[in-house]
Structure 1
Amino acid sequence: MRTSSTIRTRVTVKRTTRAAAALAAGALALSLTACGDDDKGDDSGDKGGGTKQPGVSVTLPKLDGESLSVAAVWTGTEQKNFKQVLTEFEKRTGAKVTFVPAQDPIINFLGSKIAGGAPPDVAMLPQPGAIKQAVDKGWAKPLGAEATKELGENYSQGWQGIGKVGGKQYGVYYKAANKSLIWYNARVFENAGAAEPKTWDELLNTAQMVYDSGVTPFSVGGADGWTLTDWFENVYLSQAGPEKYDQLAQHKIKWTDPSVKEALTTLAEIWGKKDFVAGGASGALQTEFPASVTQAFTGGDQPKAGMVYEGDFAQVNIGETKAKVGTDAKVFPFPAVGDTAPVVSGGDAAVILKDSKAAQALATWLASPDAAAIQAKLGGFLSPNKSIDSSVYPNEVQKKIADALIAAGDDFRFDMSDQAPQAFGGTPGKGEWKTLQDFLKNPKDVAGAQAKLEADAAAAYGG
């Protein structure tokens, strides 16, 4: 999952019924309130005895002397926080776990490791398409009985289903993220006399007010092409609707469809507006996601930009500045472009590559509320685990986001690019990522962008 640091949270979930969208959007519209929580871990402690202890929800085996490795593209604070989850697993089982930093696309990284005879035991895969590829290549191993049981107790059928291939359970969606949020510098909005917009037209008006006050409206992390696909998906889902979304996701309609033209034309109202994007297109294309967040919250009331679009995980990057979530940094739901505001989530799945008692135990652990609670307390993290107590989240907005995610149940859809073959939807410098970067550079060329998207999609999908 593109998450904080390099943000690899790409399982973008689209809740499409109006009831679910209204529920989540309503929860997210609440004002952010900072709720400090300095707890850095979960001290409940089965040290690997194979039986549950008071306050411990999951049974893990003794693994003294065992060692295993976990690969993920997470870096920075996100990697640091995940390592605390692994440390607790070590305490409870006696196993030794090594974190292996991976590169994007992770499937290619894993392929090189496997070819070299040194695959990690478990990999965190950010696309359902990547899970299918790992299964098709014979790399992924099905979850065992204990991991499957833990998953069944703690996850909705929908979240279980997206980790299945051919009816077998391969993935544990450990991490999720709400990606229908726009964060803003509260002082900039106050100086501009701007209010939180609820529709796309209101967002454009708000952006103009921010611009007129002397601050560039938007920060865009265009160096990471996945952020641009997220922009497109929010606009497209809200504007074209879920049925068209499903058709485009499966390439049952072409990218030259008029609905795609409409969405790209809408995006160009921001991307193509002179001085609406910090650094212009060239600056945005050199800005990675973490910097796109921090530059909106450094510089007091004169930052490089007043707003930045992306998920709840942006809180981790905001935390690297002096801005305080709930006072200096606030958030509103991605505005409705069509009849209904989009609600988007994402996630990363743990997939076993080397079937062993230790690897199965780690998958079981990651499916437990105990594991999720540790990282939830640290912030910048959202779990689809319905058994976690949302009070563990470190601030009110994170809690509301988590409650809305769980309340949505099985009513969701995945990120379009994550359902696509990775060559089209998940590879830097290629396919959708590259074409949308080119479109950011030249938002007037809607037809050219559509033609390139369709050509690349047709090649990736096989016609």
Structure 2
Amino acid sequence: MRPRSTLLTGCTVLLTLGATACGGGEPVSAGGGDQSLSGQTVTVAGVWSGSEQENFQKVLDAFTEKTGAKTQFVSTGDNVSTVIGSKIEGGDAPDVVMVPQVGVLQQFARKGWLQPLSKEVESEVDAGYAGVWKKYGSVDDTLYGLYFKAAHKSTVWYSPQALDQAGVEPPKTYDEMLEAGRAVSDSGLAAFAVAGQDGWTLTDWFENIYLSQAGPEKYDALATHKLKWTDAGVVKALTTLGELFKDRQLIAGGSKGALNTDFPGSVEKVFGPEPQAGMVYEGDFVAGVAKDQFGRNIGEDADFFPFPGVDGNKAPVVSGGDAAVVLKDGEHRDAGMELVRYLASPEAAAVWAGEGGFLSPNRNLKPSAYGDEVTRATAVSLIEAGEAVRFDMSDQAPAAFGGTKGVGEWKLLQDFLRDPSDPRATADALESAAAKAYQD
């Protein structure tokens, strides 16, 4: 039995009854409709490339049609903090940045780079978003970031054909997931494709295990470094993760193969023309890659189950997201603020929602805006989680620890994937890196 049917609750029922809390009202328009920004060009920087950039461009094009403002998107790659800092120093600051980490947003705000969002934007946020999203977009009670694109990072994607061939159902517990993986391996495919070349995917593995094992209070404490990484709960989560990493039956290509696989490559190993694995753990955005790059029909030959609870504990709900911020040094920051106001509307979210590979934290976006049942289910699940959602831990950390290639948590978990034999030593190294980053 596939889990998506159990997720289509609450909002879909309320919509039938005509309620508006989950998106049943008329979309709230943002910005003007009178081409009032004609002649201006809003520069927007963000990490997106490929299909994500193409789909976001459709949102920007809709903004242009509405306001007359042209847009120019610049892809920063993963090192957003370094790239934007260089642009500001060089007098070439973009107007709007789509920031993928809470820690980077906080860093930008404390450096004095950001313009507080307008009262109009804040009103849209209050009307359409759970309080947790405003919290993560604020620094010292001032709203700087509008979360336009969210991620549901507690989803495990699988090939129904691979599980059927192995004679297993989508698992309900972490141990059952490993057992299912071994059955998939016995049937001729590896269990999991792991994108170890991208360190951020490894942090997501850790966070789901840790949140389930340790609980939300310790998760929050570790995320803010009020709890040290040498804590026994961290060592326990690393030990659990290490059991997966060292099992060659479970990882496509073993640790060496995983370390040479980036995120798109991990999706290709499950949903590409020559499958090598039956499952890939990552967020809902897996669906966009599977659909756009490999032509998979979401819900038919690509599906998901919730990341299962570990050791009999509750299943985790980890999220992430990209927040739109306005830079003070941007040449057209007022037009940039109007873009952010537009992004706060369900009208803007609906443009990308219909393309796939996207979730909105805006509860005023109707679930029917999503193009397939599976994406609709993940979106409703995220909205219903409300204040229980826990934001991606590495995205809350300073970028030097949780968001930069080759250093900090990304590198140390890659090292752990390469050799998972000493979880305690890895915890010690993580604490040393975290202590330095938080002090800086």
CA contact (8 A) 1:125 1:349 kept: yes
Check 1:395–1:123 CA distance in 2 against 1; reply closer, same or farther (3 A cut): same
Cα distance per residue 1:55-103 (max 9 Å; x no partner)? 7623426111111100001000000000000001101111111111112
Match of 2:16 in 1: none
**2:289 equivalent in structure 1:** 317
Question: Which residue number in structure 2 is paired with residue 333 of structure 1?
Answer: 306
Structure 1 counterpart of 2:305, which letter? F
Give, as a single letter, the amino acid of the residue that structure 2 aligns with 1:329: A
CA deviations 1:277-335 (Å, max 9, x no partner) are: 111111111111011001111346xx211110011110111111143221211211111
Tell me, in whole angstroms, the C-alpha distance in 1 between the residues paired with 2:410 and 2:352.
Answer: 30
Is 1:158 aligned with 2:135?
no
Map of 1:225 onto structure 2: 199
Counterpart in the other structure of 1:70: 44
Please, which runs of 5 or more residues in structure 2 have no aligned partner?
Answer: 9-25
Name the aligned partner's letter for residue 208 of structure 1. Answer: R
**Residue 280 of structure 2 is aligned with which of 286, 304, 308?**
308
Over residues 154-195 of structure 1, what are the superposed CA-to-partner deviations in whole Å (9 max), with x where a residue is unaligned? Answer: 222221121111111111000101111111111111111111
Kindly indicate whether the alpha-carbon contact (under 8 Å) linking 1:151 and 1:364 is maintained by their aligned counterparts in 2: no
1:456 aligns with 2:437: no
Corresponding residue number in structure 2 for 1:51: none
Q: Is residue 2:342 matched to residue 1:370?
A: no
Consecutive unaligned residues of structure 1, counting only runs of 5 or more, are 1-24, 32-53
Please give the alpha-carbon distance, in whole angstroms, between the structure 1 residues aligned to 2:245 and 2:70.
Answer: 48
Runs of 4+ in 1 over 3 A off after TM superposition: 25-31
Report how far residue 265 of structure 1 moved: 0.9
Q: Which moved more, 1:72-81 or 1:237-246?
A: 237-246
> Is the Cα contact below 8 Å between 1:27 and 1:404 reproduced in 2?
no
The reply on whether 1:409 has 2:386 as its aligned counterpart is yes
Residue 359 of structure 2: SS of its match in structure 1?
coil
Q: How far 1:153 moved relative to its partner?
A: 2.1
- Counterpart secondary structure, 1:417: helix
SS in 2 for 1:217: strand
* Matched residue SS, 2:294: coil
Correspondence for 2:12:
none
Partner residue in 1 for 2:252: 278
CA distance in structure 1 between the aligned counterparts of 2:192 and 2:428, rounded to whole angstroms: 27
Cα deviation, 1:313-363, whole Å, max 9, x if unaligned, reads: 101111111432212112111111041011111110000003632111101
SS of the aligned residue for 2:364 comes to: coil
Q: In structure 2, give the amino acid aligned to 1:151.
A: V
1:442 aligns with: 419
2:73 maps to amino acid? F
2:161 corresponds, among 173, 176, 187, to 187
Measured against aligned partners, the alpha-carbon deviations of 1:231-263 in whole angstroms (never above 9, x if no partner) come to 000000001111221221122222111111111
Distance in 1, Cα, partners of 2:436 & 2:6: 41
Between the aligned partners of 1:424 and 1:332, the Cα distance in structure 2 is 30
Give the aligned partner of residue 97 of structure 2. Answer: 123
Q: Tell me the TM-score normalized by structure 1.
A: 0.86
Aligned-partner residue type, residue 218 of structure 1: F
Instruction: State the distance in 2 between where 1:293 and 1:152 align.
Output: 36
Measure the CA separation in 2 of the matches of 1:102 and 1:29: 38
Cα displacement (A) at 1:26: 6.3
Residues paired across the two proteins, number: 415
Taking only aligned residues, the RMSD between alpha carbons, in angstroms, comes to 1.8
Which residue identity is paired with 2:283?
G
Identity of aligned residues (%): 51
C-alpha contact (below 8 Å) 1:28/1:333 kept by paired residues:
no
Partner of 2:19: none
Of 346, 362, 369, which residue of structure 1 is paired with 2:320?
346
TM-score by length of 2: 0.91
Give the secondary structure class of the aligned counterpart of 2:248: coil
1:84 corresponds to which residue? 58
Query: Aligned partner of 2:151: which letter?
Result: A
Q: Is contact 2:247-2:254 (8 Å) kept?
A: no
Of 416-425 and 75-84, the range deviating more from structure 2:
416-425
Kindly indicate which of the two structures has a greater share of residues assigned to helix.
2
Aligned to 1:40: none
